[in-house]
Amino acid sequence: MARKRFGQHFLHERGVIDRIVSMLAPATDDALVEIGPGQGALTTPLLARVERLSVIEIDRDLIAELEARAAQDPRLEVIAGDALRIDYAALAKRRGPLRLVGNLPYNISSPLLFTLLGSTAPIVDMHFMLQKEVVDRMTASPGSRDYGRLTVSMAARAHAQALFDVGPGAFNPPPKVMSSVVRITPRAPDFEIVNPALFDRLVTAAFSQRRKTLRNAVSGFLDADAIDACDIDPMLRPERLAPADFARLANRAHADKASSGTD
């Protein structure tokens, strides 16, 4: 039975499962890690494709079922714990560069993504089922309704590609929203970020009040003249800027602080 506190919606539709496995296209020797295996609907076809599969589960009842299965199939490794607190670097040291897959609970999806993208673990890619709204925001274009902090923050860390949408009927119990499968490939951005922490703070400030102009939204970092010196109109709203534009602003703010001797 799905537990509400874990945000569980178990995937059961065979066509969707097969499509995920097909797009993941695992090689037999991949260091594949499934986050939130639940009742094992995706676990079984994944095990058919790889020599070894690690699964991370927090629900004690499901852990017991998975461990019983692992006792019969030593290719399955069960890691009991919170996916937000797992040491992925240690796991990669033992297993090699990681490929991650899973139907993520909606309540931890964004924090988990940034935990993974901030990890020192070598991660080849991630194929996750997420709330469609989150995937739309991750992959939005500047100026669109969904474009915002998540889009820019993701662009600084990875390439995100929406693969396909999944309706509520593919899950038990059915969620109240549409879902999407996304492929996330960690990579350095194609623009320079001198101070990543400052970049994140500036982006957060820019989108904290969407109706503000850039001049007002990032006034704690740059004045209008400094924004203009970056070849960016200070009267624009933040959602009109590309991720590289935010990097230019953050780099200018960093240079200004360095020249003034402040942190």
Max Cα separation, the chain? 67
Cis ω on the peptide bond leading into residue 173 (within 30° of 0)? yes
pTM to 2 decimal places: 0.91
Q: What is the pLDDT of residues 15-69, one digit of tens each?
A: 999 999 999 999 999 999 999 998 889 999 999 999 999 999 999 989 999 999 9
Tell me what pLDDT residue 262 has: 58
Of 110 and 223, the structure prediction assigns the larger pLDDT to 223
CA-CA-CA-CA dihedral for 136, 141, 143, 145, to nearest 10: -10
Residue 189's SS3 state is: coil
Domains and CATH numbers, the chain: 4-186 (3.40.50.150), 196-260 (1.10.8.100)
- pLDDT tens per residue, range 97-137: 999 999 988 788 889 999 999 999 999 999 999 999 999 99
Q: Tell me the percentage of the chain whose pLDDT exceeds 90.
A: 84
Mean pLDDT over each residue of the chain, to the nearest integer: 92
- How far apart (Å, rounded) are the C-alpha atoms in residues 191 and 197? 15
How far is the C-alpha of 30 from the C-alpha of 188, rounded, in Å? Answer: 22
User: What are the start-end ranges of the E strands in 66-117?
Assistant: 76-80, 98-103
* Cα–Cα dist 41/36, whole Å: 11
200-208 contacts, C-beta under 8 A, 24 or more apart = 200/153, 202/246, 202/249, 202/250, 202/253, 203/149, 203/152, 203/153, 203/246, 203/250, 204/149, 206/149, 206/238, 206/241, 206/246, 207/148, 207/149, 207/152, 207/238, 207/239
Q: How sure is the predictor about 257, in pLDDT bands with cuts at 50, 70 and 90?
A: confident
Question: How many beta carbons lie within 10 A of that of residue 43, not counting itself?
Answer: 19
Q: Show the tokens assigned to 216.
A: 């007002």
